[in-house]
Amino acid sequence: MKFLILSDIHSNYDALKSVLDFVKKNYQNNFTEIICLGDIVGYGAEPNESLETIFSLTEKILLGNHECGVLGKTNIGFFNYSAKESILWTRKVIKKEYSERLKKLDYTYSFEDFRFSHSTFQNPSYWNYITSIYEAEDEFDYDYFKILFIGHTHIPVVYEKDAYNVKIIEPKELKIEEKSRYIINVGSVGQPRDGDNRASFVLFDSDRMVVKFHRVEYDINSAMKKIKDRKLPKILAERLEKGL
């Protein structure tokens, strides 16, 4: 089976559209399944356009902390100022039908021995981050999985656990080793934070056991202008250009 895995679109419809155009042009939309790991909304200026597109593409959509913030399922008092402001604004503009659909989503999804979550598979609604080998080891110990796909940090990275230890692998094309297990952060479509401002996503072929990371350019100026036009915090626009 072939999977297109997206995460952290964050209401950046310009980035999402460029990713989908790239996939259509280069892969002719030849996928068994599209999986969205959450945070479709938040930060950016086009939540309804982003939600409409994702809802039209797939039913495999997971809750992120920003969806839960919009729904009131997560306390946004713990969000930073700009994130909180964007959540409050999104609550005002989101279409009721989309809000109702978000309420029906789950935190995790499993297929065979592959796992999918926005943050972690262990306590997914706590919104913990995996940003180190130590945190990755804890997640590997929680449950058996061959691969866990996550987002949340906006930084693409691979943690590989072999018979001896856990190591970090550069996010590029990766052949899954038979005796290893993996945590794969697919990065962010709409707000990358690894210093590369291009949209990030992953393609996974479970027959060939190959994971391929992609980066795609999009019209950042357009996305920035929309954020400013809606009078959202300026930092939300500025960080798109920097990829931070």
Rounded to whole angstroms, what are the CA distances from 102 to 70, 178, 189? Answer: 9, 36, 19
Q: What is the pLDDT of residue 167?
A: 97
How many CB atoms lie under 10 A from the CB of residue 212? 13
How many CB atoms lie under 10 A from the CB of residue 133? 14
Distance CA 232, CA 215 (A): 26
Q: What is the pLDDT of residue 28?
A: 85
- Domains for the chain: give ranges and CATH numbers: 2-242 (3.60.21.10)
Q: Which residue has the tokens 């949340």?
A: 152
Convert the pLDDT of each residue in 30-88 to its tens digit: 889 999 999 999 999 999 999 999 999 999 999 999 999 999 999 999 899 999 999 99
Distance CA 204, CA 39 (A): 20
Mean pLDDT of 198-208: 97
Rounded to whole angstroms, what are the CA distances from 98 to 14, 41, 63, 105, 187? Answer: 19, 11, 13, 11, 24
What average pLDDT does the chain have?
A: 97
Q: What is the pLDDT of residue 163?
A: 87
Q: What is the pLDDT of residue 239?
A: 96
Residue 228 predicted with pLDDT over 90? yes
Model pTM score: 0.96
Q: What is the pLDDT of residue 29?
A: 78
Q: Per the structure block, which two tokens stand in for 39? A: 């945070």
Convert the pLDDT of each residue in 141-176 to its tens digit: 999 999 999 999 999 999 999 988 999 999 999 999
Q: Fill in the DSSP letter of residue 78.
A: G
